Amino acid sequence: MAAVILSGDTSGTVSLGAPAIAGTQAYTLPTGYPAISGYALTSTTGGVMSWAAAGGNPILESQIVISQNYSLSSNTNGFSVGPVSVATGFAVTVGTGQTWLVSQ
């Protein structure tokens, strides 16, 4: 993984790790800090990033077809709104003591 170092007008730096990809991938960072604590960086498909309330969307969206391997994080449960299917060749892993609820 290649490293990208961004330097500012201060003595500090910000380091980002970049995966190996073909071509160029550009992201445009927001111009300032988030309005309040608890905000997370979100991105458009074009790489334009902005601050948004983490998990603060008024409507929970879930994939109809899951086309990537996915494992629930430790000490969490999952919830999807159905119908939901898992594409051929992919899996959803639900650990011991965890629950993945699909509501139809």
d(CA 61, CA 75): 22
55 by DSSP, 3-state: which?
coil
Q: Which helix (H) or strand (E) holds 13?
A: strand 13-18
- 47's CB contacts (< 8 A; 6+ apart) are 25, 26, 27, 28
Per-residue pLDDT tens over the stretch 10-40:
666 666 677 777 777 788 888 888 877 778 8
Tens of pLDDT along the chain (104 residues) come to 455 566 556 666 666 677 777 777 788 888 888 877 778 888 888 888 888 777 656 666 788 899 889 888 888 888 888 889 999 999 999 999 999 999 88
d(CA 39, CA 59): 17
CB neighbours of residue 62 within 10 Å = 13
d(CA 53, CA 41): 9
